[in-house]
Structure 1
Amino acid sequence: MLDLYRTTLGETAMAHLRHGGIFGASKILCRFSTEATQILTRSLENFADVTPDFEWNDAKPYTEIPGPKPVPFLGNTWRFLPYIGDFKIEEVDKVSKRLHKKYGNVVKIGGLLGRPDMVFLYDADEIERVFRSEEKMPHRPSMPSLNYYKHVLRKDFFGEDAGVIAVHGESWYNFRSKVQQVMLQPRTAKLYIGAVQEASEAFVQRVKKVRNYKDETPDHFLNEIHKWSLESIARVALDVRLGCLDDDAPLETQELIDAVNVFFKNVGVLELKVPFWKLFNTPTWLKYVKALDTIVEITSKHTNAALARTKTKEITGDAKSEPSLLERLLAMDTGVKIATILALDLFLVGIDTTSNAVASVIYQLALHPEKQRKLYEEVSTVLPPPGKPIEAKHVEEMKYLKACIKETLRMYPVVIGNGRCMTKDTVIGGYQIPEGVQIVFQHYVISNQDKYFPGSEEFLPERWMTGRDFNHGVKHAFASLPFGYGRRMCLGRRFAELEMIIVLAKVIQSFKLEYHYDKLDYHIDPMYTPNGPLRIKMIDR
């Protein structure tokens, strides 16, 4: 009888596999007893490592995926060349929209010199399938330039523990396993509310100093937000006050911000255009390496100083402040090298991303005064008076503020796409996708479609609130993923969210925001950001 039960379960699993793959079959787990579930789970695990022959054979060949045709010798790389190409890196958002409109939900960009084919995916269901079935060590699309820098050019510094960016396989998995307990627990992030509040209040005071006689922020306002982001990261990661927002801020803080900008501005050029840097030292490559060397040098200096202070604390027993992330990792016996490289990665990718997100939210709130009024009502009700400490309960209660952040990142995600490099032959969107192909999830295009977000062109934070009209709701959980998803989700997500919530709350508590110029378009520079100076009128409350 038990054998018959097992046979029936196996046939049921096979039926679901045929029609919905691993993801479809997993939906029947809850219908069976514990023993039956274990049997089915083992059956599914046997199928998880390979695409079933029947699914592969039923799919369309890879060669039939539509997309722009490559030309002899230059493939599709010519499209990214200046003057003759029709794919401008700073307008990838518009290029992606064009490709989706012309070719549909699955688009192949083949024939890219020095790199694998890319397949653009515009279907949230298919993105969910890829994420749900990802293996233990999923691969992001590679960054050959950063990979070469970490593993060849500066191998003496990085060694085997090269962090999580441009790292894959066992090296990535071992590093991530050692740091994710500290990085991804919400309760850990909340321990740093006080440090983030201090940096945010310093930013508010900085805004008051740099405004002009019209109470408008200067053309370099985004750089001031970069300074706040750097100060926040330093407080959390190293428990150090850099003084980025002081009038006499150290020159090296601006050098670090500039270096991070150079890194991001040039990585796209090195990855998508003809990779001459692999043959000789091009000017772009040399600027790129110099920027990374600057980042490593400055962050290493502050990390080493933080390590020295940690040893002093251990000797003297002085522990007045909350331990930094560096100290927490050291307490877990992860080793000095792991803690040092994690701090470097946080500085490398945490400055521009968080600051551009904050700038975008400020801009959207200035454009939508009615939403700003509603947010001010919440902040005035929830936050303690200026100068009083913010607590975890206050952060939890600012639900409309969180909705404003989510809605801004839906419409204008600072990173407009994410992806995976296929480590096995896979069927996606009805097509055979061979191992090694890079699948790029086009989140910006997807999250601005009415079928996933009704009235998608409208800035509507209410769609993220519970108990609202479903017609303005969120139709698919995988249609907007600004921090990614799964095993390679943004490692600094919890801290970035906390930093954004607190600084935006302090800004709205202190200022009424207005914008009186032509509406700005968005572009890639190097994050997805408003194209033009953010002259925000910030009026004291």
Structure 2
Amino acid sequence: MFKLMKMNKIHIKTMKYNYECLRKYSYTFLQNINNESFGDVKSYSEIPGPKPIPILGNTWRFIPYIGDFKIQEIDKVSMRLYNNYGDIVKIGGLLGRPDMIFLYDANEIQKIFRSEEAMPHRPSMPSLNYYKHTLRKEFFKDNNAGIIAVHGESWSEFRSKVQQVMLQPRIASMYVSAIEESSLSFIKRIGKIKDKNDEVPSNFLNEINKWSLESIARVVLDIRLGCMDDESNLETQQLIDAVHTFFTNVGILELKFPFWKLFNTPKWINYVDALDTIVGFTRKYANIAMEKSRENIKKMDELSLLERILQIENENTSNLAAVLALDLFLVGIDTTANAVGSVLYQLASHPDKQRILHEEIMRELPIDDMKMTRKHLENLKYLKACIRETLRLYPVVIGNGRCMTKDTVIKGYHIPKGVQVVFQHYVISNQEKYFPRSNEFLPERWLNKNESHHTFASLPFGFGRRMCLGRRFADLEIAIVISKIIQKYRLEYNYEKLDYHINPLYTPKGPLKLRFINI
């Protein structure tokens, strides 16, 4: 018996030893994989980038008049950093926020996306996070804080409720008629506001925002807001202005020293007021939509996006409805409107491409009042190529990224947990190595079977688990309104070429004084 116990002790010790050896070997093996065993990993401090100064770090670069990083010219700043330092650049020493790594390599971006965890973190938005989780936490309750500036289980639970509806192309195509109706209203609006020379006023981008809001409201809530009526509701313009204020201020609050954390700065007050306006609007109209839904029995193909989601989740809460509407209005109005404005400007500036597009549209839709279908949209290949090429050259959001949730290796450098890695899509998609003749507007490049492109070199809607939730509907809205405009009008732009800037999204710098000439 004693011998047996002794043998068992020896056996247990041997097993412990073998386990420890296996654990150490596995750890070393995994470390070697993570550390790219093809070469030594360089330290974080070796990453090139602009040097911080004592006390102010690199934050001083965003200070007006003395700094060399203007927020409205981040596109040019990013290009300059790439030219000066290469594929990876560190912006360290940012007061009140983590370091940023600017990444300009599509292969590395692909690696990050392909290996991301189930609940990836985007670079944080402390201002919006504070608004949702502290300032107005009574509204964003019960894990219903939405998807923007939300992470972890709360984000995963909310997204799971909505993505199976929102990311299905089949469901998106059910709203072709609703979006076409809004687009035809916009066509009529253009006819009313253009002058005797067929030129629209300098605030034309605001008119596109009205169409964008009307389209989103029809799809999400099945409500007609009348944004393009002569006597339009004042609330709708207030909402558009509030969304614009949000985007204008969020960059300032996030990149400059966060004085708002210490006291109520004017920018912070405007920011909160804008968000309160958006919350109030979405809460009101979500409640109207919910009441309307209870009163009317609809067929499946007549349901609003919101009704589909609530039906699948077997929920009937106005809070979920309002939060979803809030996030979609917050990121869907300005972004889609700016994309449409940019496509129209590019077509007006390239009459040869516009002519090809018009011929394609007339082959599919030869009659003005012909109803669009999913099949028509599938056949408009050149239209999709024009949109894709515009968003390659001038992505509405010029960068995206991830906050590292663990230590990792990028471009041979050790990147600590907590660092924010920003994918510089604008610079990448304008590089010759990814797109030959990259500075030219060439929709044909997307139709040429002999020309392949790196999948991660142009990502206007992001990628992966945190890809833009509304991309199917944004694609649909942009394609329908552009096709209806080009079907009826020939576009011209007869002024100096416009530069692009961040205002608050990437958009032409100057009024879109386009001519809409009846065909």
TM normalised by structure 2 equals: 0.92
Measured in 2, the distance between the counterparts of 1:328 and 1:54 equals 46
Identity rate, percent: 66
Aligned pair 1:90/2:68, yes or no? no
Measured in 2, the distance between the counterparts of 1:334 and 1:101 equals 53
How far did 1:322 drift?
Answer: 1.4
The one-letter code matched in structure 1 to 2:278 is I
Unaligned runs of 5+ in 2: 1-25
Aligned pair 1:325/2:308, yes or no? no
How far did 1:55 drift?
Answer: 4.4
Three-state SS of the structure 2 residue aligned to 1:112 is coil
The one-letter code matched in structure 2 to 1:96 is S
8 Å contact 1:520–1:532 — kept in the other structure?
A: yes
Measured in 2, the distance between the counterparts of 1:68 and 1:404 equals 37
8 Å contact 1:113–1:274 — kept in the other structure?
A: yes
TM-superposition CA deviations, 1:129-172 (whole Å, max 9, x none): 11111110000000000000000000000012111100011111
Aligned pair 1:212/2:195, yes or no? yes
Measured in 1, the distance between the counterparts of 2:33 and 2:210 equals 48
Measured in 2, the distance between the counterparts of 1:448 and 1:54 equals 29
The one-letter code matched in structure 1 to 2:170 is R
Measured in 2, the distance between the counterparts of 1:502 and 1:191 equals 13
Three-state SS of the structure 1 residue aligned to 2:132 is helix
8 Å contact 1:329–1:339 — kept in the other structure?
A: no
Pair 1:334–1:359, CA change in 2 (3 A): farther
Q: Counterparts of 1:500-519 in structure 2 under 5 Å?
A: 500-519=478-497
How far did 1:319 drift?
Answer: 4.9
Q: Counterparts of 1:236-275 in structure 2 under 5 Å?
A: 236-275=219-258
8 Å contact 1:219–1:535 — kept in the other structure?
A: yes
Q: Counterparts of 1:367-516 in structure 2 under 5 Å?
A: 367-383=349-365, 385-467=367-449, 470=450, 473-516=451-494
TM-superposition CA deviations, 1:398-437 (whole Å, max 9, x none): 1100000000000000000000000010100110000000
Unaligned runs of 5+ in 1: 1-42
> Between Structure 1 and Structure 2, whose CA radius of gyration is higher?
2
8 Å contact 2:34–2:409 — kept in the other structure?
A: no
Aligned pair 1:529/2:511, yes or no? no
How far did 1:339 drift?
Answer: 3.0
Aligned pair 1:139/2:121, yes or no? yes
TM-superposition CA deviations, 1:87-125 (whole Å, max 9, x none): 000000000011000011000000001110000000011
In the alignment of these two chains, the number of paired residues is 490
8 Å contact 1:365–1:513 — kept in the other structure?
A: yes
Higher mean displacement: 293-302 or 333-342? 333-342
Give the aligned partner of residue 304 of structure 1: 287
How far did 1:220 drift?
Answer: 0.4
Three-state SS of the structure 1 residue aligned to 2:491 is strand
Give the aligned partner of residue 31 of structure 1: none
Measured in 1, the distance between the counterparts of 2:170 and 2:371 equals 17
Measured in 1, the distance between the counterparts of 2:32 and 2:256 equals 34
How far did 1:213 drift?
Answer: 1.1
Report the aligned-residue RMSD: 1.7
* Residue among 156, 167, 170 paired with 1:173: 156
Give the aligned partner of residue 36 of structure 1: none
Measured in 2, the distance between the counterparts of 1:305 and 1:54 equals 56
TM normalised by structure 1 equals: 0.88
Give the aligned partner of residue 363 of structure 1: 345
How far did 1:387 drift?
Answer: 2.2
Give the aligned partner of residue 197 of structure 1: 180
8 Å contact 1:51–1:425 — kept in the other structure?
A: no
* Residue among 166, 170, 174 paired with 1:187: 170
TM-superposition CA deviations, 1:474-516 (whole Å, max 9, x none): 4311000000000000000000000000000000001000110
Measured in 2, the distance between the counterparts of 1:55 and 1:525 equals 44
How far did 1:376 drift?
Answer: 0.2
Three-state SS of the structure 2 residue aligned to 1:332 is helix
Divergent runs of 4+, >4 A: 53-57, 318-321
Give the aligned partner of residue 155 of structure 1: 137
Higher mean displacement: 381-390 or 77-86? 381-390
Three-state SS of the structure 2 residue aligned to 1:419 is strand
8 Å contact 2:360–2:380 — kept in the other structure?
A: yes
8 Å contact 2:202–2:512 — kept in the other structure?
A: yes
Three-state SS of the structure 1 residue aligned to 2:138 is helix
Measured in 2, the distance between the counterparts of 1:122 and 1:54 equals 19
Pair 1:329–1:318, CA change in 2 (3 A): closer
8 Å contact 1:231–1:243 — kept in the other structure?
A: yes
